[in-house]
Amino acid sequence: MTSVTLKDIQAARGRIAGKIAPTPTLLSPSLSQRAGVPIYLKLESRQTTGAFKLRGASNAIASLAPEEKARGVVAASTGNHGRALSYAARLEGMRAVICMSKLVPENKLAEIRRLGAEIRIVGSSQDDAQVEVDRLVAEDGLVMVPPFDHAAVIAGQGTLGLEIVEAMPDVATVLVPLSGGGLAAGVAAAVKGLKPGAEIIGVSMHRGAAMKASLDAGKPVPVEELPTLADSLGGGIGIDNRFTFAMCRDLLDDAVLLSEEEIAAGIAHAYAEEREIVEGAGAVGIAALLAGKVRLAGPTVLILSGRNIDMKLHREIVCGAWRDGKERAA
């Protein structure tokens, strides 16, 4: 069985302690009042590098053999995984190479460079960048750390689930942003390992929900990638998916989809009512609740998974000037 267990997640926690920030789980009075059950926010948006991905990247790096550490790590992600891997590698004094296409915007490139990674700009698509990753693995012996379909990455993300149950022992439901499913798989394995009766619900956007489409099809399927406010939830799950598809199929109780307007409402609520800056992917739990897309039976935790949003876009959303169709994710 290719799965990640509660024991793997508990081991990950010991490995990454001191390298990540334990984040707060806070009651939201405004959302609790609306929902009629206590609603708690797991503020992973306050994690170092701005998203939970530091947990998985740190565990993957800490799990490497000394000779692998000496060779360094490589990835093609320019988003939160790329940031996390760059930061975690630097903390260990390791080499990290992030490959990206020449279409990646300057601000993303600068952020990765600031976090200490080497940057390789190749070609004009994510596929071209991945070819360079494969070359660096084959020729230079770098170790590829993928963003979600990797046992140590999933176990690292699962540490967030351990913190949720400790903060909220009577948790009945957890709403998890869902893309490749590393977060959902890890959190579900942790929470259900400790509390088998708890429900885990994945939340994605209508525009390009690869895991939801795959769960519906009964196997990994490709989806068209579309611009969305929840840009960190874009991308496929991999046709030869090894871990996250089966884990999400076996452990998730439901997966719901949101419109762009609903996601914008989630970002605006987080700011106006909770005083939190979150990116689209981080707002989908709040958005699902505000849109009435989930039926909640008891104390519920929403994972605010990240905060790395373009601040000009954020301003437009919170002041009500954003309109769907105008915004185009990079």
Ligand X SMILES: *Cc1c(COP(=O)(O)O)cnc(C)c1O
Report the interface residues with ligand X, using CB under 6 A.
Answer: 51, 53, 80, 148, 177-184, 232-233, 279, 281-282, 305-306
Q: Which is nearer to ligand X, 38 or 266 (CB)?
A: 266
Q: Which is nearer to ligand X, 23 or 232 (CB)?
A: 232
Between 100 and 233, whose beta carbon lies closer to ligand X? 233
| Shortest CB 280 distance to ligand X, Å | 8
Compute CA 112 distance to the chain's CA centroid, rounded to the nearest angstrom: 17
Contact indicator for 27, 177 with CB cutoff of 8 Å: no
Which 3 state secondary structure label does DSSP give 125? coil
Question: What DSSP letter does each residue of 71-121 carry, written as one string?
Answer: H-EEE---SHHHHHHHHHHHHTT--EEEEE-TTS-HHHHHHHHHTT-EEEE
Beta carbon of residue 181, minimum distance to ligand X (angstroms, whole number)? 5
Chain position whose Cβ is nearest to ligand X: 306
Order of all β-strands in the sheet with 118-121:
118-121, 96-100, 73-75, 143-144
b/e for 280-308, b at 16 or more Cβ within 10 A?
A: bbbbbbbbbbbbebbebeebbbbbbbbbb
| Smallest separation, CB 45 to ligand X (Å) | 8
Least distance in angstroms from the C-beta of 81 to ligand X = 6
Q: How far is the CB of 34 from ligand X (least distance, A)?
A: 23
Of 42, 16, 20, 112, whose CA–CA distance to 305 is shortest? 42
Nearer to ligand X, 173 or 179 (CB): 179
When the beta carbons of 49 and 173 are compared against ligand X, the nearer one is: 49
Q: How far is the CB of 49 from ligand X (least distance, A)?
A: 10
In the bound state with ligand X, the residue whose beta carbon lies nearer, of 38 and 177, is 177
Shortest distance in whole angstroms from residue 273 CB to ligand X? 20
CB of residue 310 vs ligand X: minimum separation in angstroms? 14
List all residues 6 or more positions away from 8 whose beta carbon is below 8 Å from its beta carbon: 151, 155, 158, 189
Q: Residue 23 or 179: which CB sits closer to ligand X?
A: 179
What is the CA angle 111-113-119, rounded to 5? 120
Query: In terms of Cα–Cα distance, which of 3, 48, 31, 20 is closest to 163?
Result: 20
The tokens of 123 are what?
């070609």
Of 38 and 282, which has the nearer Cβ to ligand X? 282
CA 59 to the chain's CA centroid = 15
